[in-house]
Amino acid sequence: MARRGVIQDFVDDKHDHASCVEDALQRAEVLCGERGERLTPLRRRVLELVWDNHQPVKAYELLAMLAGERKRAAPPTVYRALDFLRDAGLVHKIESLNAFIGCAKPDRRHCAQFLICIGCGAVAEMDDPALTGKIAANAKRLGFRVHQETIEVEGYCGSCAG
Amino acid sequence: MARRGVIQDFVDDKHDHASCVEDALQRAEVLCGERGERLTPLRRRVLELVWDNHQPVKAYELLAMLAGERKRAAPPTVYRALDFLRDAGLVHKIESLNAFIGCAKPDRRHCAQFLICIGCGAVAEMDDPALTGKIAANAKRLGFRVHQETIEVEGYCGSCAG
DNA sequence: GGATGGATGTTATAGTATCACATTCGATCA
DNA sequence: TGATCGAATGTGATACTATAACATCCATCC
């Protein structure tokens, strides 16, 4: 499926999920290497679990997944890993869902813009510079210096709207 | 302080807070009356407490304020009131703060766009149709039907940036 | 007055996130 | 080698946010 403009399409059934996860991990390794940050086994594993789902995942769901393979996994275990991954730009938090999702374009620091389907839970990441620009312009008129944007749009995807 | 464009300015010290709260309550009465919805004493009081602060307020802070005057106030007491007020468009939830704030323009149904100062906690409500339009256009390209937007921009206001 | 449905009271619990301190691990260097 | 130091993780407790489930009250309408 071709990418249209700045919007990443919703994931369809045809995408090669295994390689998509692998790619994400590979990119993460490279990025952390470049930055001198440590993608430890735990952090890597949490990132992998996040990508495995390919939809927003809750912290305690991650904790449950970890529990099977890592005795003594506790809430701080997963929250710390998520904090690291978020700081690294590898994972975004979706505030309106209290859930986390892998960043589609971690190479470039950006603020996340999401379309969230109420029907099926699928999420598409947008990264529209025009949107960011408009917000920046509005902010500037108030003397406001933007640090981070949160844009979360709920609605129905093509499949669910019909 | 004059309003500039679509952006509501940050509240300054000079604004007449008492009348601003009164206005909000007055408008709420009218709106609920028109719509046949019941702005009960409890709901009215919660709305008043929200406006009193004029900044994002947490549910349990509201609960603490209520506790003094209303024995047996419990979490559902305040969450129910907030649910009603949100449905009525009188209050917005700021997802990134888990907090609630009075809607500056309840007359017209709209989705909230906020500038949030990390320094002082002040919040300004934007309502930029151009922004909404851009999002709608992006969504349409994906066959996505927008139901609700959440736009929360964190940064530093003029006072805090200096 | 009685029926009805919405609003609120009440208790309990689910779900989300962080604190504080202990321990381990890894890199560096004497 | 092993001493040291800071980062990462383990560990137990707890704070914070939100909802479930059922009871009671109350306004309205007939």
Give the tens place of pLDDT for each residue, B115-148: 999 999 999 999 899 999 999 999 999 999 999 9
pLDDT tens readout for residues A23-43: 999 999 999 999 999 999 999
Q: How far apart are CA B150 and CA B1, in angstroms?
A: 27
Banded pLDDT at A4 (limits 50, 70, 90): very low
The answer to whether A80 CB is within 7 Å of strand D is yes
Contacts for A59-68 with beta carbons within 8 Å, 24 or more apart?
A59/A98, A59/A100, A62/A100
CA–CA min distance A144, chain B (Å): 4
For residue A129, CA distances in Å to A148, B83, B85, B107 come to 14, 34, 34, 31
- Centre a 10 Å sphere on the Cβ of residue A21 and count the other Cβ atoms it contains: 19
CA B3 to chain centre: 18
- In chain A, which residues have their Cβ closer than 8 Å to the Cβ of B138? 5-7, 115, 126, 128, 131
- Chain A CB within 8 Å of residue B4 CB: yes
Q: What is residue A161's predicted lDDT score, i.e. its pLDDT? A: 83
Q: Which residue in chain A has the smallest CA separation from B144? A: A157
* pLDDT above 80: residue B7: no
Report d(CA B162, CA B152) in Å as an integer. Answer: 22
Alpha helices by DSSP H, chain B: 17-35, 41-53, 59-69, 75-87, 129-141, 158-161
Query: Quick check: A10 contacting B, CB < 8 Å?
Result: yes
Q: Which nucleotide lies at the shortest CA–C1' distance from B98?
A: D17
Region A113-122: mean pLDDT is: 94
Q: Which nucleotide is nearest to B43 (CA to C1')?
A: C7
Of the pLDDT bands very low, low, confident and very high (cuts 50, 70, 90), residue B107 is confident
**Pair A123, A55: CB distance under 8 Å:** yes
Angstrom distance, B1 CA to C16 C1': 40
Q: Kindly identify which residue of chain A lies nearest to residue B112, measuring between CA atoms.
A: A151
Which nucleotide has the shortest C1'-to-CA distance from B97? Answer: D17
How do residues A51-109 score in pLDDT, each as one tens digit? Answer: 999 999 999 999 999 999 998 999 999 999 999 999 999 999 999 999 999 999 998 87
pLDDT value at residue B8: 57
Position A6 confidence tier, pLDDT thresholds 50, 70, 90: very low
Give pLDDT, residue B140: 94
Q: What percent of chain A has pLDDT over 70?
A: 93
| B42-72 per-position pLDDT tens digit | 999 999 999 999 999 999 999 999 999 998 9
- How far, in Å, CA of B122 to CA of B155, rounded? 10
Among all protein residues, pick the one whose CA is nearest to the C1' atom of D27: B38
Mean pLDDT, rounded, of chain B: 91
Closest-CA residue to A45 (of A85, A11, A8, A89) = A85
pLDDT band at B2 (very low <50, low <70, confident <90, very high): very low
**Residue B98 pLDDT:** 98
Rounded Cα–Cα distance for residues B123 and B104 (Å):
11
* A157 interfacial to chain B (CB closer than 8 Å): yes
CB–CB contact B151 A147 (8 Å): no
Min Cα–Cα distance to chain A from B57, Å: 17
pLDDT at B109: 76
Say what the pLDDT of residue B9 is.
66
What value does the mean pLDDT take over residues A128-137? 94
Residue A8: band (very low, low, confident or very high) from pLDDT cuts 50, 70, 90: low
- Residues 6 or more apart whose CB falls under 8 angstroms from that of A97 comprise A56, A116
The CA-based dihedral angle spanning residues B114, B117, B99, B146, taken in that order and rounded to the nearest 10 degrees: 20
Q: Collect all residues of chain B within an 8 Å Cβ-Cβ radius of residue A141.
A: 4-5, 7
Interface with A, mutate which of B153, B156, B157, B160 (most A CBs under 10 A): B153
Size of the A and B interface in Cβ pairs below 8 Å? 133
pLDDT tens figures, B26-37? 999 999 999 999
